[in-house]
Amino acid sequence: MKIESKVVHSGDRQKGGDYVPVTTPIYTATTYSYDSMERLDRVLGGEEKGPSYIRYENPTTSAFEILMADLENGHGAVACSSGMSALHISLLAALMDRPRRIVAASALYGSTVSMLMNVLGPMGIETAFADFCDLGAIEEAIAESKPGLLLMETISNPLLRVGPIDRIAEIAKRAGAPLVVDSTFATPMLVRPLELGANIVIHSATKYLAGHGDVLGGVIVADQENFDVIKPLAVTLGPSMSPFESYLTMRGIKTLSLRMERQCSNACKISSWLATHLRVECVYFTGDPAHPDAATITRLFPKNLNGAMVAFELKDAGRDEVYRFIEGLKMIVRGTSLGDVHTMIAYPAISSHRDISPKQRLRMGIRDNLVRISIGIEAAEDIVGDLDQAFGL
């Protein structure tokens, strides 16, 4: 099946009795009983498929995991309670029997940087940062630190850089280090990192996958070698996604292809309009032909699906001017998330990269006049109209 059909059908209608519900129900039970102790023994031992305890397996969550493994063409998936828990489990698992060193992209989500420096650092796990759009810089960082894994984002947050995942995967393979990719901004509709040679891909299910602002969750999809380490580690540490969150995410994914088509189309229109506005200094958008990574984007992304995130800098603006602009918006939602059906605006300096020092933010290219918009499915004219009236204040 093509991915547009997979998002509708994969994971549903798993046989568990004499009847099959057409969509996956919410199984709220924490524990499952079997008439035969021998069968329970086999289930608990992993010799036979079946739920026993919710931290090990839940029918609703298992269906979501089947869906995600299918969408990403991975060996298996593990659903987690948040995107950050998915990242944490992935990094710990990948470093289990490898050098406790990481080479990470210099352009990353602020909380990811905080995890690397403030959580993993004190545990003795060292991180070196490199420009993942510069293959030479990656090679140099690997030669110097000899890492146990490489970490990057498909589309970086918030400046939307796109590294050549396939070529980075080749470098990682030569170094004997798995490549971990946070693909939250891209979703499987744009890029499937495992198909390009990555070993582990993670998503914040809170964002585009669920898509409606009512879920907290994350998911890991991996190749067999890494999945066989990730799954038991996740069971032991227990950051399990709840059945209700799994159900809502599966329900959201059924419209993922339609939502992404509309959101990507809207993003093209909004970014083009912003680029002509007198109050806009610079626009960042993966569909811009002048994007610094345009060749990689053209090669790896489907035609007309360039992503739905847009960032831009307000001309001659400081924090006060940015605040006034954002407060002037009437329809666009002020919030720290992204990927929902409604358009949302965030100010990275106080949200996604709040925990990064001003000097480090500046080194990352995140200036105090930068805002980030997650484009929704509304009429593009209404999004433009709201931005325009806010600029006019």
Enzyme catalytic residues: 55, 109, 182, 207
What is the Cα–Cα distance from 163 to 300, expressed in whole angstroms? 10
b/e string for 89-123 if b means 16 or more Cβ within 10 A? bbbbbbbeeeeebbbbbbbbbbbbbbbbbeebeee
**Are the beta carbons of 271 and 285 closer than 8 angstroms?**
yes
> What's the N-to-C CA distance of the chain in angstroms?
50
Q: How far is CA 118 from CA 188, 315, 362, in A?
A: 30, 34, 20
Strand order in the sheet with 370-374: 280-284, 309-314, 370-374, 344-346, 333-334
**Are the beta carbons of 96 and 229 closer than 8 angstroms?**
yes
